C-alpha cells in the first residue's frame, strides 16, 4: 500500500469513544446545571417586576435566578433600587400645566404598551370608525385626482384617539390576580411534582430538595417590601390629570383623571430614584443573604450524582413561565392601578382631535399640542380656534389640587 494511503487509513477517526462520552453526557447532564443557573437574569428581574405587589408573588423558580440574585445585590447597594426601568418608553404630560417628560415607571410603561389589549370596547369601535372615515377620504381624493380608488388600501391608523379614564380607589395598590399569577402557582406545583419522582422511585431526594429550595428563594425574593415601595412610589388621592402617550405620530393617548381617587402618576413617572426613598438596611442585608443562598443552591445542584434531567426540566418550566409573564399583556387592575372608562375622542386629523378634547375638557387639549406639534406651526384658522377655546377656558373656575401620601 502506498505510504500516503496508508497514512490516511491510519488516521481514520474512531467515533466509538466520543460517541460514548456524548451519550453519557446526554443521559445525565449534571455538569451543565451550574451554567444554566446563571443564564437569563434579566428575564427573572422582569418577571419579578410584573408580579410583585401581592402577598406571595408567584414567580416560578427558573434558570437565571442565581444570576438575578447576584445582580440584585448590585442594584440594591449601588443603585438603591430593585425595580427595573420601563421597557416601553413613553411620555407623560401634566394635563393642568402641560409639562412633559420621559416616563421611567415600569407600571405606566406597561399600561400604555398593553392598551390595545385592555382598552374599552367604545375605544375600539370609535377607532375603527375613524379609520373607516379616513379610508373614505383617501378613496375620494384618489377618485378626484386619478379617477379610481382601487389601489387605496385601508390605513392601519388614523389621526389621534384620546381615551379618557378615571382612577378608582378600590383596588389601588392591590394588584388583581390574573392568569399570569395562577400560571406561576401551577408551574411551581408542577416543578415540585416532577422533582418528587426520583424521591418516590429511587429515594433520591436531591432533585426535590433543590427544586423546593429554589421555589422558596423565589418567593422570598419577591416578598421584600422594597418592591412595593418602588412599584408605587407616589401619593394617593391625587387630583392630577395626566396623559400617557408615545408622542407625535402615535395612535393613542391615554388620559387618566385622578379626581381624588388615584395615584399621583406624575410623581410615579419621575421614578423611585428621584425620591428620597433609598433601599433600607433590611433590604440590602436581605438581598445579600438571598444571593449567598442562591450560590449555595448552585453548589448543591452541581453536586448531583444523577437525575439531573429532572432539575433541568423543572428549571426550563420556570423559564418558560417567566417568559410568558414578561411577554404577556395585563390590565391596569393587575398592576394595582384600576381605571374606569369615561370617554373617547378621536378625529381623522390630530389637530382636530386636540381641538375636540379642548372643547370638552378645557386646557387638556391645549397642553397636548407641544407634544404632538413640537414645531408649534399652526394655521391662521387653527390659531383662531385655539384663541376662542382659550378665552372660554379662562372664564371657567379651576378646582384646587390635593394629594395624600399612602
Share of the chain above pLDDT 90, in %: 41
The pLDDT of residue 306 = 78
Q: Pairing between strand 160-167 and 252-257?
A: parallel
- Rounded to the nearest angstrom, the gap between the alpha carbon of residue 156 and the centroid of all alpha carbons in its chain is 24
Half-sphere exposure of 277 (CA within 13 A, CB side): 21
The pLDDT of residue 320 = 93
The pLDDT of residue 401 = 46
* Number of residues that this document lists for the chain: 406
Instruction: Compute how many other C-beta atoms are within 10 angstroms of the C-beta atom of residue 231.
Output: 23
How many helices (H) and strands (E) the chain has is answered by 17, 8
Write down the pTM of the prediction. 0.84
* Residue bearing cell 421555589: 215
The pLDDT of residue 393 = 73
The pLDDT of residue 166 = 94
CA distance 256 to 261: 11
Residue 24 has pLDDT above 60, yes or no: no
- Cα–Cα distances in Å, from 218 out to 60, 204, 344? 7, 23, 42
Residues 64-80 have pLDDT tens digits of: 888 898 889 888 888 88
- Residue 275 cell numbers, joined: 425620591
Which residue, among 178, 159, 222, 204, has the nearest Cα to 335 in the 3D structure? 178
Residues 134-193 have pLDDT tens digits of: 888 888 887 777 777 777 788 888 889 999 999 998 888 899 999 999 999 999 999 999
CA distance 116 to 22: 48
Mean pLDDT of the chain: 84
Half-sphere exposure of 32 (CA within 13 A, CB side): 12
* Residue bearing cell 393613542: 252
- Domain residue spans in the chain? 28-375+387-405
Residue 389 has pLDDT above 60, yes or no: yes
80: left (phi over 0), alpha (psi -120 to 50) or beta: left
Amino acid at each position: 500500500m502506498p505510504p500516503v494511503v496508508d497514512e490516511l487509513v491510519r488516521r481514520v477517526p474512531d467515533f466509538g469513544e466520543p460517541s460514548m462520552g456524548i451519550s453519557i453526557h446526554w443521559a445525565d447532564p449534571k455538569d451543565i446545571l451550574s451554567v444554566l443557573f446563571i443564564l437569563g437574569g434579566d428575564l427573572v428581574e422582569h418577571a419579578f417586576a410584573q408580579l410583585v405587589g401581592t402577598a406571595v408573588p408567584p414567580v416560578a423558580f427558573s434558570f437565571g435566578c442565581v444570576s438575578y440574585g447576584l445582580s440584585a445585590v448590585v442594584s440594591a447597594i449601588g443603585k438603591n433600587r430593585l425595580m427595573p426601568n420601563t421597557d416601553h418608553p413613553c411620555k407623560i404630560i401634566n394635563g393642568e400645566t402641560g409639562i412633559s417628560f420621559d416616563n421611567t415607571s415600569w407600571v405606566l410603561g406597561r399600561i400604555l404598551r398593553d392598551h390595545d389589549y385592555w382598552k374599552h370596547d367604545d375605544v375600539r369601535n370609535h377607532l375603527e370608525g375613524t379609520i373607516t372615515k379616513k379610508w373614505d377620504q383617501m378613496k375620494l381624493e384618489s377618485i378626484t385626482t386619478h379617477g379610481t380608488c382601487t389601489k387605496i388600501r385601508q390605513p392601519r391608523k388614523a389621526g389621534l384617539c384620546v381615551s379618557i379614564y378615571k382612577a378608582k380607589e378600590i383596588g389601588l395598590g392591590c394588584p388583581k390576580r390574573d392568569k399570569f399569577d395562577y400560571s406561576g402557582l401551577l408551574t411551581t406545583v408542577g416543578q415540585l411534582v416532577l422533582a418528587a419522582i426520583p424521591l418516590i422511585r429511587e429515594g433520591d431526594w436531591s432533585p426535590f430538595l433543590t427544586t423546593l429550595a429554589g421555589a422558596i428563594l423565589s418567593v422570598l425574593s419577591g416578598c421584600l417590601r422594597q418592591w412595593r415601595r418602588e412599584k408605587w412610589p407616589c401619593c394617593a388621592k391625587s387630583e392630577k390629570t395626566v396623559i400617557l402617550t408615545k408622542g407625535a405620530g402615535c395612535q393613542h393617548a391615554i388620559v387618566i383623571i385622578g379626581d381624588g381617587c388615584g395615584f399621583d402618576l406624575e410623581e410615579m413617572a419621575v421614578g423611585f430614584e428621584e425620591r428620597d426613598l433609598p433601599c433600607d438596611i433590611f433590604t440590602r442585608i436581605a438581598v445579600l443573604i438571598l444571593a449567598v443562598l442562591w450560590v449555595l443552591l448552585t453548589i448543591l445542584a452541581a453536586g448531583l450524582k444523577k437525575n439531573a434531567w429532572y432539575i433541568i426540566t423543572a428549571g426550563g418550566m420556570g423559564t418558560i413561565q417567566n417568559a410568558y409573564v414578561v411577554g404577556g399583556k395585563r390590565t391596569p387592575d393587575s398592576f394595582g392601578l384600576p381605571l374606569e372608562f369615561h370617554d373617547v375622542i378621536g378625529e381623522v386629523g390630530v389637530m382636530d382631535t386636540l381641538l375636540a378634547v379642548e372643547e370638552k375638557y378645557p386646557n387638556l387639549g391645549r397642553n397636548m399640542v407641544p407634544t404632538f406639534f413640537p414645531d408649534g406651526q399652526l394655521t391662521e384658522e387653527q390659531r383662531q380656534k385655539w384663541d376662542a377655546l382659550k378665552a372660554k377656558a379662562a372664564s371657567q373656575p379651576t378646582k384646587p389640587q390635593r394629594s395624600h401620601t399612602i
